[in-house]
Amino acid sequence: MLVRSQRLLVLLMGMPGEGRLFDYALNLGARMEADLDLLWLAHPEDAVEALGTCTTKAARQGIRLNFRFPEGSSPWDKVRRYLNLNAPPPMAAIGLRELAKKNMKEIRMLNRSGFPITLVSFKS
Q: What domains sit in the chain, N to C, each tagged with a CATH number?
A: 6-96 (3.40.50.620)
Residue 62 — very low, low, confident or very high, per pLDDT cuts 50/70/90? confident
What pLDDT sits at residue 88? 63
What is the rounded distance in angstroms from the CA atom of residue 119 to the CA atom of residue 49? 26
What pLDDT sits at residue 65? 85
Residue 42 clears pLDDT 80, i.e. is over it: no
DSSP state of 19: S
**pTM of whole model > 0.85?**
no
Residue 32 clears pLDDT 50, i.e. is over it: yes
Residue 74 clears pLDDT 50, i.e. is over it: yes
What pLDDT sits at residue 84? 79
Contacts of 58 (CB under 8 A, 6+ apart): 26, 29, 36, 64, 65
